[in-house]
Amino acid sequence: MTRKLDVINIDAPDVRPQPTMPSACESHGCGGAEEQAQQLPAFGTVTVDGQEITEEQIAEEMPHHPAPTGEEAWRAAAQALVVRHLLMREAENRGLSREGDEEEGKRVTGDEALVKALLDDVVSDVLPTDEECERYYRSNRHRFRTPTLFEASHILIEPEEGVGEDGWLAAETQARTIIEVVENDPDAFAEAAREFSGCPSGQQNGSLGQIRRGELVQQVQAHIEATPIGTVNPQPVRSKHGWHVIRLDRIVEGQELPFDVVKEKIADLLEARSWTVSAMQLVHSLADAAEIEGIVLDAPPSDEDERRGTLAA
Out of 11-20, 41-50, 156-165, 199-208, which region has the weakest mean confidence (pLDDT)?
A: 11-20
Query: Band of the pLDDT at 18, cuts 50, 70, 90?
Result: very low
Total number of residues shown for the chain: 313
Over 80: is that where the pLDDT of 211 sits? yes
- For residue 207, name the pLDDT band (cuts at 50, 70, 90): very high
Report the mean per-residue pLDDT for the chain: 82
pLDDT, residue 144, reads 94
Measure Cα distances from 144 to 16, 17, 294 in Å. 10, 12, 41
d(CA 206, CA 25): 10
3-state SS assignment for residue 51? strand
Q: For residues 198 and 9, which has the higher predicted lDDT (pLDDT)?
A: 198
Collapsing DSSP to helix, strand or coil, 284 comes out as helix
For 248-261, b where at least 16 C-beta lie within 10 A, e where not — what string? beeeeeeeeeebee
Residue pair 64/5 in contact (Cβ under 8 Å)? The answer is no
pLDDT of residue 305: 47
Per DSSP, what are the bridge partners of residue 145?
Answer: 256
Confidence of residue 200 (pLDDT cuts 50, 70, 90): very high
How far apart, in whole angstroms, are the C-alpha atoms of residue 110 and residue 97?
A: 9
Count the Cβ atoms, other than its own, within 10 Å of residue 273. 25
Q: How far apart are CA 84 and CA 90, in angstroms?
A: 10
- Neighbouring CB atoms inside 10 A of 68's CB total 9
Among 88-97, 181-190, 249-258, the range scoring the smallest mean pLDDT is 88-97
Among candidate residues 6, 8, 65, the one with its CA nearest the CA of residue 283: 8
**pLDDT tens string 279-300:** 888 888 999 999 999 988 876 6
Q: Quick one: which of 50, 33, 52 has its CA closest to 42?
A: 52
